[in-house]
């Protein structure tokens, strides 16, 4: 029962991750339109340097978004194959943390153009903190599992 429920959760989470990846692809395709809207309408900045900087930061940010989303997808894929307490998963979690912190820093720089981007920085850093905590739990569990595997 629990296993079926978990498999279902993993399957739906993988679907959600794919949808998020497609959304980021769509955002990348319409990048200049989005950044123009954010810079002009929300940030009330009409200068070209602000638009160019926002566009560059947007694409750098989505790059880290891909790192995070593909790592999450691979992590879920491992979970569905019953590869749970494995060093490969903690490596993926490290990529997620690095991706989130980098995306947070990009948002912090974008805060220079539009101050509300700093909210995204806080959210990204908080998510990185949570993933880092889970990574530490996994690291400890893997060490315990390795000890148990070598108990004869």
Partner 1 sequence: MAIIVNLDVMMAKRKISSGELAEKIGITPANLSILKNQKAKAVRFSTLNDICKALECQPGDILEYQED
Which residues make up the interface to partner 1 (CB under 8 A)?
146-147, 150-152
For residue 26, with 0-12 CB atoms within 10 Å meaning exposed, 13-18 middle and 19 or more buried, which class applies?
exposed
Residues 17, 73 contacting (CB under 8 angstroms) = yes
87-92 contact pairs (CB < 8 A, 24+):
87/142, 89/138, 90/135, 90/138, 90/139, 90/142
CB of 143 to partner 1, least distance (A): 11
Quick check: 78 and 123 in contact, CB under 8 A?
no
DSSP state of 40: I
Show the tokens assigned to 128. Answer: 């990185």
- Provide the minimum distance between the beta carbon of 147 and partner 1 in the complex, in angstroms, as a whole number: 5
Q: How far is the CB of 76 from partner 1 (least distance, A)?
A: 31
- 75, 112, 120, 108: which is closest to 94 by C-alpha? 75
Closer to partner 1 by Cβ: residue 115 or 144: 144
Tokens of 64: 């880290």
Residue placing its CB nearer to partner 1 in the complex, 130 or 144 = 144
């Amino acid at each position: 029962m629990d296993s079926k429920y978990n498999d279902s959760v993993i399957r739906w989470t993988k679907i959600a991750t794919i949808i998020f990846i497609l959304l980021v692809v769509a955002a990348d395709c319409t990048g200049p339109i989005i950044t123009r809207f954010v810079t002009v309408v929300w940030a009330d900045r009409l200068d070209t340097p602000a638009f160019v900087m926002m566009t560059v930061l947007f694409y750098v940010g989505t790059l880290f978004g891909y790192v995070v989303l593909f790592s999450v997808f691979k992590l879920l894929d491992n979970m569905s194959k019953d590869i749970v307490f494995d060093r490969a998963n903690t490596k993926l979690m490290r990529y997620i943390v690095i991706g989130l912190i980098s995306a947070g820093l990009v948002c912090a720089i974008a805060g220079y153009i539009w101050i509300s981007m700093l909210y995204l920085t806080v959210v990204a850093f908080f998510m990185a903190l949570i993933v880092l905590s889970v990574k530490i739990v996994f690291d400890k569990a893997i060490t315990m599992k390795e000890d148990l595997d070598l108990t004869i």
